C-alpha cells in the first residue's frame, strides 16, 4: 500500500479512473471523493471509486496522505486557495491538469511552502466525460508526465512514480515549459483542428437533408476530439495560448504548401507532401 488515505478532488473521468485503477492495484487504501454534484458523489460510491464522499475539498486534505486534484485547469487556482490553510506538512498534492506552467505557478503561489506539490498529467482521456465513463484501465500503457520543482522531496517523487506505475502508466519526468510546448503540438493542436473541421463541415453540408449519408469513418476519426467538453478545452487552450498560437501558425504554413501544389496541379509536389505526412505519422506513432 503506497498511500493509505487518498483524497480525490474531482471524481470525474480522470479522478474516478485514477481511484479505480489505484485501488485495483492495491496501491491506495481509503478514498475520500470530492465532487460538487450529489449525483457524481453517489455514482463514485456506487462504482467503488470512493469509500466516502464530500462536497468540501478542504475537508479531505487534513485527512489524506495524498491529494489528487482532477479538476479542469481553469478551476485549479480556486481549489488550491480553498485547501491551502488545511494542508499539513506531510501532505503530498498532485494534479492531473493538461497544462503545467500555470498550474505549477498557481501551486507555488497559493499552497504553503511545507506542502509537497508535484504536477501531473496523464496522457489519457476520452471524449467521454464524467464518473460514468471512469474505468480502471484508462491509464494502461499511457505516458504520465510528472513535473517536480527542484526543492521537491525526492522520496515523495519516487513514491508517486511508484503509484503511477501501479496504474499501468509510464511515469515521465519533464519540466513545465517543455511539457506545455510539446503537448501544444501533439495534443492541443489536434483538438483545435478537430473542432474547426467539425464546424467547417457542419456549416458547409450540415444543412443538406442527406448529409449523414456522406459521413464516413474519416470524418468520424478526425472529429472525435471535437466531441470533448467545451469548458474543459477552453481552459486548456487559454492556459497554453502562446504555444498553441505558434502551432497554429506552423499549421497554416503547411496548409499553404498543400494549397499551392493543388492550385498549380503539381502532381509531384502534392505526392511529396502526402509522403512526408505519411512518414511523420509512421515516425511518431511508434
Q: Which parts of 242-261 interact with its own copies (CB under 8 A)?
A: 244-245, 247-248, 250-252, 254-255, 258-259
Residue 1 within binding range of its own copies, rule CB under 8 A = no
Question: Exposed e or buried b for every residue in 80-110, given b needs 16+ CB within 10 A?
Answer: beebbeebeeebbbbbbbbbbbbbbebbeeb
Could you give the C-alpha distances from 246 to 99, 189, 214, in angstroms and in order? Answer: 16, 10, 33
Residue 154 within binding range of its own copies, rule CB under 8 A = no
Residue 231 within binding range of its own copies, rule CB under 8 A = yes
Number of Cβ atoms within 10 Å of the Cβ of 190: 14
Interacting residue with its own copies among 113, 151, 155, 283 (CB under 8 A): 283
Cell of 281: 505519422
- Number of residues forming the site for its own copies (CB under 8 A): 89
CB 83 within 8 A of CB 110: no
Per-residue binder mask for its own copies (CB under 8 A), 103-142, x = binder: --------------------xxx----------------x
Residue keyed to cell 482521456: 125
From the list 182, 164, 172, the residue with the least C-alpha distance to 244 is 182
Considering beta carbons, is residue 1 or 212 the nearer one to its own copies? 212
Considering beta carbons, is residue 149 or 170 the nearer one to its own copies? 170
Interacting residue with its own copies among 26, 108, 202, 260 (CB under 8 A): 202
Residue 56 within binding range of its own copies, rule CB under 8 A = no
Binders of its own copies in range 162-201 (CB under 8 A): 170, 172, 182-183, 185-187, 189-201
Amino acid at each position: 500500500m503506497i498511500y493509505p488515505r487518498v483524497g480525490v478532488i474531482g471524481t470525474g473521468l480522470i479522478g474516478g479512473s485514477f481511484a479505480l485503477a489505484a485501488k485495483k492495484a492495491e496501491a491506495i487504501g481509503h478514498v475520500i471523493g470530492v465532487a460538487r454534484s450529489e449525483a457524481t458523489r453517489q455514482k463514485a460510491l456506487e462504482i467503488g471509486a470512493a469509500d466516502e464522499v464530500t462536497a468540501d475539498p478542504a475537508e479531505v486534505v487534513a485527512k489524506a496522505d495524498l491529494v489528487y486534484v482532477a479538476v479542469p485547469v481553469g478551476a485549479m487556482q480556486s481549489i488550491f486557495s480553498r485547501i491551502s490553510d488545511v494542508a499539513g506538512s506531510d501532505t503530498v498534492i498532485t494534479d492531473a491538469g493538461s497544462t503545467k506552467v500555470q498550474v505549477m505557478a498557481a501551486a507555488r503561489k497559493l499552497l504553503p511552502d511545507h506542502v509537497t506539490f508535484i504536477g501531473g498529467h496523464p496522457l489519457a482521456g476520452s471524449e467521454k466525460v464524467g464518473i460514468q465513463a471512469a474505468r480502471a484501465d484508462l491509464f494502461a500503457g499511457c505516458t504520465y508526465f510528472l513535473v517536480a520543482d527542484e526543492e521537491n522531496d525526492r522520496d515523495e517523487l519516487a513514491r508517486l512514480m511508484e503509484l503511477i506505475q501501479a496504474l499501468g502508466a509510464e511515469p515521465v519526468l519533464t519540466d513545465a515549459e517543455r511539457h506545455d510546448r510539446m503537448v501544444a503540438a501533439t495534443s492541443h493542436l489536434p483538438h483545435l483542428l478537430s473542432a474547426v473541421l467539425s464546424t467547417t463541415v457542419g456549416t458547409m453540408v450540415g444543412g443538406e437533408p442527406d448529409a449523414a449519408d456522406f459521413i464516413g469513418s474519416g470524418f468520424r476519426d478526425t472529429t472525435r476530439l471535437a466531441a470533448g467538453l467545451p469548458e474543459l478545452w477552453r481552459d486548456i487552450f487559454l492556459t497554453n495560448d502562446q504555444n498553441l498560437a505558434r502551432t497554429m501558425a506552423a499549421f497554416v504554413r503547411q496548409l499553404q504548401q498543400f494549397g499551392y501544389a493543388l492550385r498549380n496541379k503539381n502532381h509531384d509536389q502534392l505526392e511529396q507532401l502526402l509522403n512526408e505526412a505519411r512518414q511523420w505519422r509512421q515516425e511518431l506513432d511508434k
